[in-house]
Structure 1
Amino acid sequence: MQYLKEDVKERILKAAFQEFKDKGFLDASIRNITHNAGISTGSMYRYFNNKEQLFDTIIEPVYNKLFRNVLNLQKSTDSCSNPIGEIMDIKVQILDIFKENSSELLILLDKSKGSKYENIKEHMVLLTDNILKEQLLPQLKEKNIVVKDTFITYVLSTTLIEGVYTILKNYDDGVEISFLIDQLINIFFTDIDQRI
């Protein structure tokens, strides 16, 4: 009997994963999930209390990996003075997660509106912005380059995170993704002191 329960739960999770991948959290329908799992809506509620719990079951492991890595990076920014190195560390962390959980990461980054995870991209932007403000701006100041409005670091950070997301969304090959993200970072930061 236990085997059958696990089989039903796995069918629900598989159908929910596809529904969230196709429609995102906000537009996902329990009715569609149960239909695609081949069970009644009442049966689904024996396994999951609601759509939020179902989404959490699928997305939370990836969120926890990303959040844990982001926290570690935030702690290490105080001891590092190389913003490009820090941003490369973020890239490596994201690629490691992408290798194991590409679809879940993409759902987290782009299809979690309406869930408790909907601000994850903004958290990544703020982390990057913090790195640039704390490390890049002082380096520019040492070269007598004054940035008149520090909001530019937020704009750079937003564009960089959206660029990384776009690459992840459109490519499957980890080597190609890494190459493209490196190119993007180089375009942003190579000789930045001469372009500001």
Structure 2
Amino acid sequence: MQVLKEEVRKKIIEAARKAFKKEGYAKSSIRKIAVQAEMSSGNLYRYYKNKEALFEEIVRPSYEIYQAELEKMKKKYEQREAEKERTPKYYSQIEAELIQFFKLKRDEMNLLFNYSEGSQFASAEQELERLTYEVTQDIFMTGKGKERLTHLEKSEAKLIARYLIHGIADLLNSTENQLEFEQLIDTHLLIYSTGLKAVTEENR
């Protein structure tokens, strides 16, 4: 009996993944998920009390790892003054584990970045964009040999940070082919690094 219940739970989770990806968290409903799972809404409610509980079960484990990786990045970022290492190469080393995580947990991160509006996880993408903006500003200051940035330079840093993170969000949802996705992510990061170097060295 327990095995049967576990199979039903897996079926519900798979149906919920498809429903959330098709319509997003906000527009999904228990009724739509039940239709996708080929069961009644009443039967589904025996396993999950609402769509929030379903969405949380799918994304929570990956979200907690994601938060831990962000925290790791923040701590290394805060050490930059003591370490005297504020270069794109240094930050690329910090971000390597996070990018690898995106590759491994692509489906969950796609839900978090592109389909979580209306849920408690809706700020996942913005959190990474804010941190990337701080890091990019720091790289600007080092690359341009400045202690403070102009309003224009801050705007450029924000634009580049937004390009990086929004680009990752788009790529998460771009192709079903995992190898192609990984290649696109690597290309995207290369373009980011090349553009960042060009802007920081301009008029130095």
Q: TM-score range by the shorter chain?
A: 0.7 to 0.9
Match of 2:88 in 1: 84
Q: What is the TM-score normalised by the length of structure 2?
A: 0.84
Unaligned runs of 5+ in 1: none
Given candidates 142, 152, 164, the residue that maps to 1:160 is: 164
Match of 1:193 in 2: 200
State how far apart, in whole Å, the 1-side matches of 2:13 and 2:144 are: 52
What is the number of residues matched between the two proteins?
A: 194
| Divergent runs of 4+, >4 A | none
Structure 1 residue 140: Cα displacement: 4.2
User: Matches of residues 89-100 of structure 1 in structure 2 within 5 Å?
Assistant: 89=93, 91-100=95-104
For the residue of structure 2 that corresponds to 1:65, the secondary structure is helix
User: Matches of residues 36-47 of structure 1 in structure 2 within 5 Å?
Assistant: 36-47=36-47
Q: Deviations over 1:24-73 (max 9, x none)?
A: 10111211211221222111111111110100000111111111100111
For the residue of structure 1 that corresponds to 2:171, the secondary structure is helix
Could you tell me whether the CA contact under 8 Å between 1:145 and 1:193 is conserved in 2?
Answer: no
% identical aligned pairs: 24
Match of 1:138 in 2: 141
Match of 1:53 in 2: 53
Q: CA 1:89 to 1:119, structure 2 compared with 1: closer, same or farther past 3 Å?
A: farther
For the residue of structure 2 that corresponds to 1:115, the secondary structure is coil
Structure 1 residue 78: Cα displacement: 2.0
Q: CA 1:167 to 1:41, structure 2 compared with 1: closer, same or farther past 3 Å?
A: closer
Could you tell me whether the CA contact under 8 Å between 1:26 and 1:112 is conserved in 2?
Answer: yes
Q: CA 1:117 to 1:126, structure 2 compared with 1: closer, same or farther past 3 Å?
A: same
Letter in 2 for 1:54: L
Q: CA 1:178 to 1:86, structure 2 compared with 1: closer, same or farther past 3 Å?
A: farther
Match of 1:127 in 2: 131
Could you tell me whether the CA contact under 8 Å between 2:141 and 2:148 is conserved in 1?
Answer: no
